[in-house]
Amino acid sequence: MTKTALITGASRGLGAALAEALAPTHHIIAVARTTGALEELDDRIQAKGGAATLAPMDVTNADAMATLCRGIFDRWGTLDLWLHTAVHAAPLAPTDHIDAKDMAKSVACNVTATATLITYIAPLLGQSGSAVFFDDPRAGQKFFGSYAATKAAQIALAQSWATETASIGPKVHIMTPDPMPTATRARFFPGEDRTPLADPHAQAAAVLAQL
């Protein structure tokens, strides 16, 4: 039976690298907002002999994600792996100047969507599947208020879920990759020398080695 891997935030960075790494052994269900980037990912997956289902949608659209999860159930019945790399990186700002719309987007993507997806995906993972979340601790750092607060809330959700399912499954993992030259990091650190940063494909390999 074909193994399945759902990757939310699959179009670029670590999500895309994970999709490519899993392609030889899993059918990839790739979720991202950017259709063109998903199609490019699909080309790379096919080049590796793999196959993917592309889902160009926003994880904050609960109805779309519910439809996707129902489609996964109808086609495969279960899900082996969920890797959640989708994140909203609001522009950096002093805490007393955080834009209300940016904060709302951060909460919607990083917190609300994560909580909603857990309720949708947990039944698909069952007792034997695995979910993986990725921490990026920024609490207390200057200008990271909206990102740090909502990312910490996302990880708190994952930590509670991990504790609750420790003996019954699914397995819930929380990992902290090394800094990578992603688009998200470029928004935070424009002009940074990216040479010392970790290769996303190497980080993907390290993540999967721990599962």
SS (H, E, C) 147-194: HHHHHHHHHHHHHHHHHHCCCCCCEEEEECCCCCCCHHHHHHCCCCCC
For residue range 105-117, list pLDDT tens digits in order.
999 999 999 999 9
Share of the chain above pLDDT 90, in %: 98
Inter-axis angle of helices 200-210 and 13-22, nearest 10: 60
Quick one: pLDDT at residue 121? 98
**Alpha-carbon torsion angle 63, 68, 74, 75, nearest 10:** 170
Residue 1 has pLDDT above 90, yes or no: no
Structural class in CATH, domain 3-210: alpha beta
Q: Where are the alpha helices (DSSP H) in the chain?
A: 13-22, 35-47, 62-76, 100-106, 113-125, 145-164, 183-188, 200-210
Is the separation of the CB atoms in 9 and 86 below 8 Å? Answer: yes
List the domain boundaries for the chain. Answer: 3-210
Supply the pTM of this predicted model.
Answer: 0.96
Is the separation of the CB atoms in 53 and 28 below 8 Å? Answer: yes
Quick one: pLDDT at residue 75? 97
Average pLDDT, the chain: 97
Other CB atoms within 10 Å distance of the CB of residue 195: 6
CA distance 195 to 211: 28
Quick one: pLDDT at residue 160? 98
For residue range 128-161, list pLDDT tens digits in order.
999 999 999 999 999 999 999 999 999 999 999 9
